[in-house]
Structure 1
Amino acid sequence: MKLLMIGGTAFLGRAVVAAALARGDDVTMFNRGKTNHDLFPGVARIQGDRTNPADLAQLKSGRWDAAIDTCGYLSAAVGATVAALQDQVDHYTFISSISAYADNGPLNQDESAPTLDLGDGPEDAADMPTYGARKARCEQAAEALMPGRVLHLRAGLLVGPHDTSGRFPYWVGRIARGGAVLAPDGPDHPLQLIDVRDLATWNLHMAETRQAGVFNATGPDHDLTLGALLAACREASASAAELTWVGEEFLAEHDVTPFSDLPLWLPNSPEYAGFMRYDCTKAQRAGLRYRPLLDTARDTLAWLRTRPTIVESAPERSQPGLSAQREQELLAAWRK
Structure 2
Amino acid sequence: MLGGTGFVGAAIVAEGVRRGWTVTMVNRGIHGDTPPGVHRLRGDRTVPGGLAALAGGGWDVVVDTWDGAPHAVRDAATLLRSAGHYAYVSSGSVYAPPVLPGIGEESPVVVASADDIRDDDYARCKAGGELAATEVFGERALLVRAGLILGPGEDIGRLPWWLRRVARGGDVLAPGPADLPVQYVDVRDLAAFTLDLAAEGVGGAFNVISRPGHTTMGGLLAEAVAATGGDVRLRWTAPEVILAAGIAPWNDLPIWIPPGHEYRWLQERGVEKAYAAGLACRPVAETVGDTWRWLSRVGAVPPRAGRPVRSTVGLDPAREAALLATHHPA
Same fold (TM over 0.5): yes
**What is the root-mean-square deviation of aligned Cα atoms in Å?**
2.2
Asked if residue 251 in structure 1 is aligned to residue 242 in structure 2, the reply is: yes
Aligned with 1:292 (options 283, 293, 298): 283
In the comparison of the two structures, how many residue pairs are matched? 321
Shift of 1:119: 7.5
Deviations 1:309-334 (A, max 9, x none): 68xxxxxx964112333321221122
- Alignment match, 2:34: 39
- Alignment match, 1:314: none
Unaligned runs of 5+ in 2: 302-309
Instruction: Say if 1:120 and 1:33 are closer, same or farther in 2 by CA, change over 3 A.
Output: closer
- Alignment match, 1:96: 90
SS of the equivalent of 1:200 reads helix
- Alignment match, 2:306: none
Which stretch shows the higher mean deviation, 78-87 or 224-233?
Answer: 224-233
Which stretch shows the higher mean deviation, 289-298 or 167-176?
Answer: 167-176
Determine the C-alpha separation between the residues in 2 that align with 1:187 and 1:146: 44
Contact 2:185/2:209, CA 8 A, preserved across alignment: yes
Contact 2:143/2:205, CA 8 A, preserved across alignment: yes
Matched residue type, 1:139:
E
- Alignment match, 1:279: 270
Aligned with 2:11 (options 11, 15, 19): 15
- Alignment match, 1:321: 314
- Alignment match, 1:177: 168
Which stretch shows the higher mean deviation, 179-188 or 325-334?
Answer: 325-334
Matched residue type, 2:328:
R
Instruction: Say if 1:119 and 1:67 are closer, same or farther in 2 by CA, change over 3 A.
Output: closer
- Alignment match, 1:131: 122
Matched residue type, 2:73:
V
1:52-71 equivalences under 5 Å are: 52-71=47-66
Contact 1:72/1:78, CA 8 A, preserved across alignment: no
TM-score, normalised relative to structure 1:
0.89
Determine the C-alpha separation between the residues in 2 that align with 1:67 and 1:183: 41
Shift of 1:168: 1.4
Contact 2:181/2:212, CA 8 A, preserved across alignment: no
Asked if residue 115 in structure 1 is aligned to residue 109 in structure 2, the reply is: yes
- Alignment match, 2:255: 264
Unaligned runs of 5+ in 1: 311-316
SS of the equivalent of 1:208 reads helix
SS of the equivalent of 2:144 reads strand
Contact 2:69/2:116, CA 8 A, preserved across alignment: no
1:156-305 equivalences under 5 Å are: 156-220=147-211, 222-269=213-260, 271-305=262-296
Shift of 1:307: 4.5
TM-score, normalised relative to structure 2:
0.90
Determine the C-alpha separation between the residues in 1 that align with 2:209 and 2:252: 23
Instruction: Say if 1:309 and 1:30 are closer, same or farther in 2 by CA, change over 3 A.
Output: closer
Deviations 1:220-240 (A, max 9, x none): 475432111111212222333
Contact 1:194/1:220, CA 8 A, preserved across alignment: no
Shift of 1:257: 1.9
Determine the C-alpha separation between the residues in 2 that align with 1:121 and 1:276: 31
Q: Percent identity?
A: 40
Which stretch shows the higher mean deviation, 247-256 or 43-52?
Answer: 247-256
SS of the equivalent of 2:101 reads coil
SS of the equivalent of 2:49 reads helix
Determine the C-alpha separation between the residues in 2 that align with 1:137 and 1:268: 31
Shift of 1:267: 3.8
Shift of 1:299: 0.6
Shift of 1:120: 11
Contact 1:101/1:114, CA 8 A, preserved across alignment: yes
Deviations 1:28-82 (A, max 9, x none): 101111211x231542111111122322232122101010002243211100010
Determine the C-alpha separation between the residues in 2 that align with 1:105 and 1:184: 24
Determine the C-alpha separation between the residues in 1 that align with 2:161 and 2:281: 21
Matched residue type, 1:131:
Y
Contact 2:114/2:129, CA 8 A, preserved across alignment: no
